[in-house]
A and B are shown apart, each in its own frame.
Chain A
Amino acid sequence: MKRHFLIINTCGIVLAVGFLIYLCASALYSGYPWSLICYYCKKCNAPCVVGIDPQGFIASSYSNDPNVSMYVTNGRLPLGRAMEVDPSMVVQAEDGKKLSAAAMKRKGVDPGREVLTYRMRAKEAAQLCLSCGACEKACPIGLPISAIVKDLREHGVFRGK
């Protein structure tokens, strides 16, 4: 009995530690190792007028993946533009339903019509960011979130690449 628990616990610990090591390595590789100290307080989200959840940039950086999906709930752009950028981008219909841009177009919505965004990839969210720095000011530990946004906006990839 004890041996079984020992094996299970050992495997669990090895998996957990392995995952933490992988996370540290990917954060280092992306070029933003400081992103690991974010503790998800979400204070950065409140002052963003575009409705961006800046924690999404942090998550994409320590995952080293600019395609991580994140909330951008108050971005406005024409449906045609949303289709060009990412047809799978989730936008809000007038009745409040959340649909992909492609689904909105299939419903017959005019491509020139302005839609409210809801979720999109981090590299596209960086294009909508105003660079006002309100999220950085709100962060209690002063994480330089705009550094990630700047690299994604200008190069489409993280600093490490």
Chain B
Amino acid sequence: MTKDRSTLRILVLLAVLFVLVFICLKQVRSQYPGEYPKILPEIGGTFSFQADRIEIVLTEQPKSGVVFVFAYDEGNNFLGILKPVTDRKVVLGRGDLADVRAPVKGQEVGEPVFLKRMDRYAEKIDIFEKVVQAHDRGGRYGVQRCLHPVCTKCVDACKTVISSGDLAIVMGVQKGGFILPEFSKGKCPRCGRCFTDCPTGSIERSPGRQH
């Protein structure tokens, strides 16, 4: 009889423990549901080439109010200039000098070099000429809202969560020459920091799962 009672007590205790663990796990899950990021396609733009200017009409007004107008030179260097957008329009004039240069090898972007220090240019590269040359020889040029290589917030946010170095988000060069984040679903812990920190709206919260 005593033995039966002690067995019963142990079983009840185990059942209570099991229920408690189940409740705690359920609460942890609902507190951190997590969502995957969604990389938006790049902003489109129609280029209109004139003698002393290039007028670009974008498909939408970017969130940050600026875009990178870029062109690749013969050495496969990414040359970019940050331009303000007014009513979806960007004007690139003759004499506009590039702000940044980054070497590109295959799909990988190298360390960027800022061409302007305070009010002096370390190297003067006429980005208008480079865009025209790229257009004439069929090279890569365009406009993008993602501010890489200037901004690395998404990658930095991922690094604060994943310490192993095998990041869920890396920067890569796309077909048209755009430098965009590339996302690996299997590695993503769904912390949400990338789309929270992105200042340009290039990464958004993936639709579907709600809190």
- Residues of A whose CB lies within 8 Å of any CB of B are 45-47, 49-51, 53, 71, 73-74, 76-78, 81, 92, 94, 114, 118, 130-134, 137
Contact = CB atoms under 8 A, between A and B. Distances in A.
Interface string B138-154: 00000000010011110
Given A49-B150, A132-B150, A76 B83 contact: yes
B192 interface: no
B151 A76 contact: no
Contact of A132 (B83, B119, B153): B153
A131 B93 contact: no
Nearest to B121: A74
B153 A133 contact: yes
A77 B64 CA distance: 13
Interface of B: 64, 66, 82-84, 86, 91, 93, 95, 99-100, 114, 116-119, 147, 150-153, 156, 197, 199
A76 B140 CA distance: 24
A82 to B, nearest CB: 11
B116 A137 contact: no
Contacts of A133: 151-153, 156, 197
Given A130-B150, A133-B156, A114 B84 contact: yes
Given A74-B99, A130-B199, A131-B199, A49 B156 contact: no
Nearest to A42: B118
Given A51-B116, A76-B82, A131-B64, 14 more contacts: A46-B117, A49-B114, A73-B116, A73-B119, A74-B116, A76-B83, A76-B84, A78-B86, A130-B150, A132-B147, A132-B152, A132-B199, A134-B152, A137-B152
A76 B191 CA distance: 35
Contacts of A76: 82-84
Contact of B147 (A45, A46, A81, A130): A130
Contacts of A49: 82, 99-100, 114, 116, 150
Contacts of B118: 45, 51, 53, 71, 73
A46 B119 contact: no
A14 B95 CA distance: 55
Contacts of A45: 118
A77 to B, nearest CB: 5
B38 to A, nearest CB: 20
A41 to B, nearest CB: 15
B199 A114 contact: no
A17 B114 CA distance: 41
Nearest to A80: B86
Contacts of B116: 49, 51, 73-74
A65 B156 CA distance: 31
A50 B117 CA distance: 10
Nearest to B118: A73
Nearest 3 A/B pairs, CB to CB: A132-B151, A131-B199, A73-B119
A113 B86 CA distance: 12
A46 B116 CA distance: 9
Contacts of B93: 114
Nearest to A131: B199
A37 B74 CA distance: 46
Given A49-B100, A76-B83, A130-B66, A114 B91 contact: yes
A134 B148 CA distance: 11
